[in-house]
Chains A and B, each alone.
Chain A
């Protein structure tokens, strides 16, 4: 059995050499044709999700500020940044001659949006931060990281700028949760159990459109898990706790 495994493995390694050479120039890494109807059609939904996502992020940070008034200034700054991102992504769609399907995007976020609003009304700050500053931000960062590799030159530049900012946002929620971990752990776990599966569903829902944009579902999920795991680790959770939380993504 071992020898068989070894031989097959080496053949695969050798046969994939060609693939590597073909894409030797990272700049020509199999970019899709941005001008086709199918690309634009898929882009109309993906672009809308991004625009809506940035708008909701803005609204959510303003809402979170009502729960921690001392952070008003900082959160307003973050919210403003999200509006800047929204403008950038709107320009990306315009540049390709695509009209964003905002109705689709609103529906796409509705469940998560609803859960955020409920938590906000109840004053559940931990849940609000988990949804916005961890799940949505990690989702956005992972999508942007994958998108940068296959975006048109204009969108690539915009997205690169956005990613730099997004790491700051992730950091914001992370810092608060870290400081308050002893009192917020239980709520964090419970909120995660409810909301992480939604992220997975959202990813599945958008997978076909994303693949038209040359964004691989597997890569998107992996990027998300990396950002998510990093944040939870920074907050101060151990490997087993993170494993338990991540479980919610695969059921």
Chain B
């Protein structure tokens, strides 16, 4: 069994979906009611891979909504309760989607192993970041040449380079792609210096300096509050890969020859027959999903029951290659510019 822990993109959206699913008591409730709502196992599904392997899985909605981020205790409980439910249901490997893994990491939830009468077993969970990082790299390799960017001559900026996904993307770009130059951008200087040392390459630079130089920009962090982006100063053509969560870069960067691609989204080779990705607002919800979710499915296809992506900066090239090969084998592919999704509305 694989599991996916997800949530709605906004409170309003969550209420609408709860109503559709028949969860009237929370659909009619205010935010306080949602703060007290237990996680819900919304759907069970059976999936057969391109390699002919069948697996079963469940989608759990944690009943978290982004409006709860300011309530630190509530957000923490939503994540831990959803994880407890996944474990109680006997799910072998569960991906922490959307804000779930971000909350787990930033609120240091590792110290909360005991949830009621359940002792959480971390090996049952994965952030899915290895697959996400691999997918972003593949999206870059495939789509940059399509819009006339020669990777051998390209400058790539990674915004949020020191994060778990960002550092993995940097590792891959330097070692596997032969790009001309890598620009490392992040807020904290100390981890940046460490990363540069580890990579034995890359140039540490500010966001303002990086943007006008970059042929490709990989965003795996939020944008600084005060940032105003002057699209006139961007290179043309320019590929922007939106690898953050939620995905909303396409609103900020619009203009001729600026191509914004939703990063870290994969497509399965056939319809899955589930409703859960409609909840995640995918353009083609029968096939598309977050790469982190797909990682749980891939690990289940491979009977690899381990917390494959866990902790920070543990993503090696070998792990990316392993998950990438398995991803292709079972029928996943990264979405490209030709599958460009419409703008999400909150």
Contacts and interface: CB of A to CB of B under 8 A. Distances in A.
B131 interface: no
B112 A13 contact: no
A17 B106 contact: yes
B197 to A, nearest CB: 25
A7 B222 contact: yes
Interface of A: 1-3, 5-14, 16-17, 19-21, 24, 26, 145, 163-164, 167, 216, 218-219, 221-222, 225-226, 229, 239-240, 243-244, 246-247, 249-250
Contact of A13 (B37, B69, B73, B225): B69
A9 B111 contact: no
A239 B344 contact: no
A247 B24 contact: yes
Interface residues of B, number: 45
Contact of A222 (B36, B108, B222): B36
A225 B85 CA distance: 13
Interface in B86-131: 99, 102-103, 106-108, 111-112, 116-117
Contact of A239 (B40, B73, B107): B40
Given A5-B66, A239-B23, A26 B112 contact: yes
A250 to B, nearest CB: 5
Which 6 A-B residue pairings sit nearest by Cβ, starting from the closest?
A2-B248, A10-B222, A221-B36, A246-B25, A222-B36, A247-B25
A142 B40 CA distance: 18
Interface in B220-244: 221-225, 244
Interface of B: 21-26, 28-29, 32-33, 35-38, 40, 66, 69-70, 72-74, 77, 81, 99, 102-103, 106-108, 111-112, 116-117, 221-225, 244, 246, 248, 251-252, 344, 346
B75 to A, nearest CB: 8
A243 B22 contact: yes
A222 B32 CA distance: 10
A218 B28 CA distance: 17
A249 B36 CA distance: 11
Main secondary structure on A side of the interface with B: helix
B244 A13 contact: no
B224 to A, nearest CB: 8
B117 A163 contact: yes
Contacts of A226: 38, 81, 116
Most buried by A among B25, B66, B224, B344: B25
B77 A5 contact: no
Nearest to A247: B25
Contacts of B72: 16, 19-20
A145 B116 contact: yes
B258 to A, nearest CB: 16
Nearest to B66: A9
Given A2-B251, A163-B117, A244-B24, A7 B346 contact: no
B239 to A, nearest CB: 19
A7 B246 contact: no
Contacts of B70: 12
Given A2-B248, A5-B66, A5-B346, A20 B38 contact: no
Contacts of B26: 243
Nearest to A163: B117
A3 B77 contact: no
A222 B84 CA distance: 14
A3 B81 contact: no
Most buried by B among A164, A239, A250: A250
A26 B110 CA distance: 11
B222 A250 contact: no
Contact of B28 (A11, A216, A222, A250): A250
Contact of A20 (B32, B66, B106, B224): B106
A164 B26 CA distance: 30
B28 A14 contact: no
Given A13-B106, A16-B72, A243-B22, A6 B248 contact: yes
Contacts of B23: 239-240, 243
Contacts of B248: 2-3, 5-6
Nearest to A16: B72
A225 B225 CA distance: 38
A164 B117 CA distance: 8
